[in-house]
Chains A and B, each alone.
Chain A
């Protein structure tokens, strides 16, 4: 169980030099007081564009620091930047940006090396995950020469490479065709794994859905 306690985050607003703007707020709050529990299974985080879904995932993944609040994993407070948490974390950013000259195989090897996985094991797991996601045929093709959907699958493959206990996925089904989406859904389901994914609509594929969260006005409303 991952517990979120009063997570808040605001961002500075660019200086407005117009007359009368002296008393305008200088920070824009995105997350006000996010509280909730993430049990094993899939939690879908939804909300309007700009509601703060990506910000919440970045805070949970330790990419940006929250202004306040705390996180607990199995009852123990922790920092998302902690090495042990990163070791059991899989993350998919919203923007699919990769090194275009790298092949899918080298990209997965690169991410496995950053995750401190042994070379031999990483190679076998990369082959396995890529095969399950339908990437086996393009393992040796540069990422810049495969489709956007395939690049997204490669990013998903790296998130799953270390068989993580916690997965944060930002729009994982966007741009995927039906069969790829089904493969991804099948790979996400694993007993005991906590998955938080953002989506604008409920995915069409069978998922071990634990709960649905709606982010509105900087706070969570359970669906």
Chain B
């Protein structure tokens, strides 16, 4: 196995980019099929509150970020299932409140020296060995869970009621999926930043839906597109000296537009 501690910052960036985009690609299929794009936006933006809290308390923003993202994810789920609040209203309220809290925390911490910009827009070159380990652990854990419950996740995405009646642990899996999303969002922040995370959760799946007619193909295409865009975007950004996160997202957006244009031909054979 490669010794993660001896890698140079460029190699670390590349390995991190591959792992994170691999995760996003797999997850993106479900985000698109379950129409959870806006939840992705909500969870990722709410992580800002947690990251800022980390600065204020002087702890690793990863943990406070995960805490906040999880809390908001579960609040959204709770509001949606237990109250009469509409899901998108709940998301709109919770993520805005969480970002506002983040600004207050930053103000209180007077941490002008921290890389807020890096958290907002990603700074993959700043990934150290510790972050790489965190990413690796999340990647292995999340992929194992998705693989273990793949069949049930598909069923529940397709038809939640029938899945429930057939004995699928729907509620547990819904919460598990939110936990997974929160974890993936946090590690993806390293790659593209809080503002752009949702792009990686949505666009690969959307591209794959344009191209694939079978679910398994869709997962593979989504993953391939995500990894390809991350690696390609990183190299492109290095070559033309663009911000890396933004370049990755722009590559994805262009691919989405291209495949959307191709869709009518692909699907009328």
Do A and B come together as binding partners?
Answer: no
